[in-house]
Structure 1
């Protein structure tokens, strides 16, 4: 009994610092965001005025906030689908096909992930430059343009952000899926081949089901991280412009805080928190299935 108590006490002492830090720097700030969303306060004023749900009622009719949420949801959906589709396809090709320089391709695909968002934003801003950017220059070789294409204009800015975010993320998830696919026994593919199953059928009937647990985990992680990544790319590439066309909810929240509407920005933070939590739960529920063993 004494030995068990001593062990429990030792474990409690070991985990206490982590629990305290988590509570102080995560739980308390989160609770304070919920509290501040019920108050009206200027960013530099110590005075607080309780307004209840007024900030949330204002959000419902705020067209700029609604537009920023629509942009964020669009980025989450498109970037997630395209990134995971390409990551799985590239991982499948490099894992099963005998291609020279496989390690070279792994490194090349992974490099964007180790670059900072600021560097990637600078690269793509140069590519999208209307006058002498690489993209317009390449198009100009095949088609004469009277006016340069404004890749960061209102109509194309979201597409430009999507391309940059996909380019940054594909390599990381491709490498993760290659590691999972390496654990799938080759005998399963050989048996399927003898039964007449082609590579495409094997990919969807063997590879995907056997690495589904990894796909599910990374999918949830990626969707939530995209909310933050979208904000970083917007701040680094467009600052929400032009005319708010690329504004996402987090950048809009920071904009309201900088404008002095501290309580209102906290209300936006609460909505984003609830949205991300609900989205995580939904994705986990939709992707739930019995794990396959081999």
Structure 2
């Protein structure tokens, strides 16, 4: 409960995240304060905040929860076979490109592991992973708009792919690459406001020295490509989406931007201490194989998926 209050900024928000009532959370914190003998919440403001003592105890709670996860994973590793339910939060683009092959591979290597997945953006799935509502998160991050992982989570890199500029097939730009400054006068279809995709365009254009002319915003890459195909603007599209689109349509061309280059990292996040769990290890291995297979078959632009030796599945 301390961690939830710290993360959500108040008792009411913490209660919602934990599916408790605010009075129940307040009573538990009051009981904890009596036990430790110091105030843990500053109740002088409209939204209660942790006191310095509360912050210090919350840091211990983070470590305790990590140790509990590690203990559970350690016991699970003693079993001969991986089994049980794994709950995965995944972004839609990675789900389409990687999940079918990863699920098939997991069924071969760990048939008693059931992978239950849900579509979720990192801003929602990573906090849910930290709270224990998910076991793994498959997410993306843009190089010029990095996202800091919440405390208590670890990251495993799967692949790095270019973000490509989608232009109508008849666009005046030729060749396979383009400098970002050449796109200064273009009309852009950007990501939704405050999204990491919108931040990617703003920062990339800013590094090139201009403010992009945004004529539309959407959170669906397929919709953005449909608008590009009909001449409504240009857009930044992940390579894995471009590969799928190019296989069925010749209405859009894809250019690799330079100065600055734009890339997206696809990674798996887990709670610290759970890597030794057989189910997590098999799932990570299956996702790595799917990422390597996708990278090898990429037909739009090269994508790197070479796992580092230090990232080998932990058993």
Query: Does the pair score TM above 0.5?
Result: no
User: Would you tell me which structure has more strand in proportion to its own residues?
Assistant: 2
| TM-score interval, smaller chain | under 0.3
User: Would you tell me which structure has more helix in proportion to its own residues?
Assistant: 1
User: Which of these two proteins has the greater Rg computed from alpha carbons?
Assistant: 1
TM-score (norm 2): 0.24
- Which has the bigger relative contact order, CA under 8 A and spacing at least 6? 1
